[in-house]
Amino acid sequence: MNARTSRLSAVLLALFFLVTNIHISSRRLFWFDELCTLKIIQLPDLATLWQVQNSFRADSAPTAYLLLVRLFYQLTGQDEFAVRLLSALAVTVALLVIFDCARRLLDGLHGLLAMCVLCLSFALPFGYEGRAYALVVLFTSLALWLWLHTAADSKRAAGAFGALIFLDVSMHFYAVLALVPFALWTVSRWRTGQRPPLKLAAGIAGMLCALVLCIQQMIGMRQFGAPAVAPPTLAALTDVYAKLYPAGPFVLAVFAILACLFRTAAKPVEEGERLCWMFLAIPLAGFAVAEAVTHSFYPRYLITAIPGISVAFVCLASRYLPQKASAALLVCVAGLAIGKQVSNARNPETLEPSSGGSQQLATRQGLWAEETLAREGKTAIVANFAHATALAYYSKRPALYITYAGDSGTYFCRFMGDVCWNLEGMKRHGNELAALYPTDRFLKDMIEAGWQPAVRMTEPLVVYFSPRAYSTSSR
């Protein structure tokens, strides 16, 4: 494959994913995390945004990310879709950067393969979600490209690398992990008396500057009791690589088959590939950070690993496979990536957020049931805090939706304000309540408070309450 053909193919492939991501974005409902972002960027001025970001009502993303999204939101005429459009554009550019990164290390065919491997990763779905992760992938990809394809002693390249790490960490706190592979590679080549590479020093400086910018928000989140989620466990650690690349076992199986069919002597590992394999250490470092500091270990927090691992795999393939076998692998991986994206584009309403459970389905079902519940005299619909937020956003009767304090916890109740009712409030309005997908805890508390639940409908699951003749609370 000549250079011109590979570049044209890369552009067409990137445009395909851009168009389909935009289509998918336009057909999906916003979910809780995205609605929090929209709420913050729609504040009247920057001073208010800064004040809110340092309070218990802060969005979990760094303030710098919200400022960037707010700017894009303003430039696009205050269109809510701008939040997702920014992510779609970021993933598209990241694909082209990864293509060029692998093309310069190897050739155009393997550049296309690297793009397709990235498309099969955990990163692509963030191209149709309004969160920071697509930008994290973009800035990490650019940082990798700069490290590999610019002079080691270039001050301009070092400055640009530091700026990219600054932007990376400013988009998400866990992006500090992007420095791990570069630090490990430097340590592996360390010789006594050597100075650290300019790029690494600049990257550390960029990271520190970003943390200084975010420190007030981080302190505020800890002070106001932001809950820790997804605790680190050995099971989560051993499972994380498969979650980063859901199709990884299949791709590895195809690679192994081709390697056996087309026997060839493996070429030696080059330094570029060696650095890219260091990105496999990011989940290990993330686990250590979660154990020591954050107590949260979500796979999406480790998304900085994906650009390097994608390039590392195609380097491995190039060392073991001849060109014809690599082309066959490309056809297989590209077909799988494109087929999966086409399937998603045909059924965008079924795509749930990576950490949001069944929010899309629950929101659509709740909106469908709303008219019936209102007609039957229900003045309050109880749902969990995430569903209640989305339902209130899309509903013609937003005041209907409340959440139960016993399920939501102190932090989310402070965030949601007067729509978070305690058990006393639920008891006072029992006849007027409809519970949408109620939790076992809520049902148990209502029963003990003297209210008998009865299923009104099953899809969605809606429960009504009526007074009981005998209450355990009256003993």
Per the prediction, the chain carries an average pLDDT of 90
Q: Specify whether 333 is located in the same domain as 374.
A: no
In a domain? residue 354: no
Range picked from 106-120, 356-370, 416-430, 435-449 for highest mean pLDDT = 106-120
Q: Nearest-CA neighbor of 52 among 72, 37, 34, 68?
A: 37
CA distance 302 to 309: 12
Q: Specify whether 389 is located in the same domain as 338.
A: no
Name the maximum alpha-carbon separation found in the chain. 84
Mean pLDDT of 382-393: 90
In a domain? residue 258: yes
Residue 472 pLDDT greater than 90, yes or no: no
More confident residue, 105 or 229: 105
Mean pLDDT of 4-28: 95
Query: What is the pLDDT, as a whole number, of residue 226?
Result: 56
CB 34 within 8 A of CB 130: yes
Query: What is the pLDDT, as a whole number, of residue 401?
Result: 93
The distance of Cα 66 from the centroid of its chain, to the nearest Å, equals: 15
What is the residue type of 376? E
pTM for this model (two decimals) = 0.91
- Edge to edge, the sheet with strand 401-404 lists 420-421, 401-404, 380-382, 433-436, 461-467, 451-458
Query: What is the pLDDT, as a whole number, of residue 92?
Result: 97
Average the pLDDT over each of 80-89, 100-109, 200-209, 357-366 and give the range with the smallest value.
357-366
> Helix (H, G, I), strand (E, B), or coil: what is residue 167?
helix
Q: Specify whether 209 is located in the same domain as 327.
A: yes
Range picked from 104-113, 228-237, 421-430 for highest mean pLDDT = 104-113
Domain span including residue 414: 359-474
pLDDT classification of 193: cutoffs 50, 70, 90: low
> Helix (H, G, I), strand (E, B), or coil: what is residue 464?
strand
Range picked from 151-155, 190-194, 230-234, 335-339 for highest mean pLDDT = 335-339
Q: Specify whether 303 is located in the same domain as 336.
A: yes
Q: Specify whether 201 is located in the same domain as 177.
A: yes
Q: Specify whether 365 is located in the same domain as 317.
A: no
Average the pLDDT over each of 121-130, 155-164, 357-366 and give the range with the smallest value.
357-366
CB 91 within 8 A of CB 137: yes
Give the DSSP H/E element, type plus range, for residue 382. strand 380-382
Residue 475 pLDDT greater than 50, yes or no: no
Q: Specify whether 387 is located in the same domain as 455.
A: yes
In a domain? residue 98: yes
Q: Where are the alpha helices (DSSP H) in 224-270?
A: 234-244, 248-261
| Residue finishing a domain among 286, 320, 348 | 348
Residue 317 pLDDT greater than 80, yes or no: yes
Q: Specify whether 401 is located in the same domain as 262.
A: no
What is the residue type of 172? H
In a domain? residue 119: yes
More confident residue, 460 or 56: 460
In a domain? residue 284: yes
CA distance 138 to 88: 11
Residue 194 pLDDT greater than 60, yes or no: yes
CB 437 within 8 A of CB 461: yes
CB 470 within 8 A of CB 449: no
Instruction: Report the 10 Å Cβ neighbour count for 146.
Output: 22
Q: Specify whether 18 is located in the same domain as 152.
A: yes
Query: What is the pLDDT, as a whole number, of residue 411?
Result: 67
Residue 469 pLDDT greater than 70, yes or no: no
Q: Specify whether 59 is located in the same domain as 175.
A: yes
N-terminal to C-terminal alpha carbon distance within the chain:
82
pLDDT classification of 470: cutoffs 50, 70, 90: low
Query: Could you say which DSSP state residue 460 is in?
Result: T
Please tell me the chain's helix, strand, coil percentages from 3-state DSSP, rounded to the nearest 5.
70, 5, 25
| Residue finishing a domain among 329, 348, 367 | 348
Give the DSSP H/E element, type plus range, for residue 50. helix 46-53
| Residue finishing a domain among 293, 313, 348 | 348
Please give the structure tokens belonging to residue 202: 């600049």
In a domain? residue 88: yes
Question: At 31, phi and psi to the nearest 5?
Answer: -115, 180
Residue 228 pLDDT greater than 80, yes or no: no
Could you tell me which residues come within 8 angstroms of residue 144 by beta carbon, excluding any fewer than 6 positions away? 101, 275, 276, 307, 308, 311
The domain total for the chain is 2
Q: Nearest-CA neighbor of 224 among 95, 56, 359?
A: 56
Query: What is the pLDDT, as a whole number, of residue 197?
Result: 87
Q: Nearest-CA neighbor of 367 among 440, 462, 251?
A: 462
Average the pLDDT over each of 47-51, 192-196, 277-281, 459-463 and give the range with the smallest value.
192-196
Q: Nearest-CA neighbor of 446 among 420, 419, 469, 473?
A: 473
Q: Specify whether 325 is located in the same domain as 463.
A: no
In a domain? residue 170: yes
Query: What is the pLDDT, as a whole number, of residue 474?
Result: 42
Mean pLDDT of 138-162: 95
More confident residue, 53 or 447: 447
More confident residue, 55 or 11: 11
User: Helix/strand/coil (H, E, C) string of 59-127?
Assistant: CCCCHHHHHHHHHHHHHCCCCCCHHHHHHHHHHHHHHHHHHHHHHHHCCHHHHHHHHHHHHCCCCHHHH
In a domain? residue 305: yes
Q: Specify whether 80 is located in the same domain as 175.
A: yes
411-441 pLDDT, tens digit each: 677 767 778 888 998 988 889 999 999 999 9
